Amino acid sequence: MADRNTVQKEIIHHTLCEMKNHPTAAMVYDRIHFSHPTISRSTVYRILARMAEEGKILRLDLAGCDSRYDGETMPHSHVRCRLCGAVADLPAVRVGWPAEDGGFLLEDCAVVYRGLCPACRRTE
């Protein structure tokens, strides 16, 4: 029998992968709470943070909103709606390194486009 932590981790990972909207931890918890009321909010937050550290999922830290989580770990870019905050996947784009590194050790670069989502375009 798998231990409780492993089972919870699988449930949380599976739920995140089903949600294609790059949810916050709160959104993942709300969804899990519906089907698995015994899993606590702190467990969901803790396991999501740990899986992101381990590289099993992605954490997107976008300016002006709570961290979003993403079950899709293949390289890809994101687009965020400037009106409703919706985040969607886009194909990966290659970004070159800048001519100057400012003394930093550059490790990676995440591309986030901004714009209007289809729903907001219709109402704009």
Q: Which residues bind Zn ion (CB under 5 A)?
A: 70, 72, 81, 83-84, 86, 89, 117, 120
Residue closer to Zn ion by CB (options 7, 111) is: 111
Least Å distance between CB 66 and Zn ion?
A: 16
Least Å distance between CB 53 and Zn ion?
A: 18
Outline where 36-117 has alpha helix (H): 41-53
- Nearest-angstrom CA–CA distance, 81 and 7: 35
Least Å distance between CB 81 and Zn ion?
A: 3
Q: Which helix (H) or strand (E) holds 91?
A: strand 87-91
- Nearest-angstrom CA–CA distance, 71 and 17: 5
Residue closer to Zn ion by CB (options 26, 111) is: 111
Residue closer to Zn ion by CB (options 52, 81) is: 81
Q: Which helix (H) or strand (E) holds 69?
A: strand 68-70
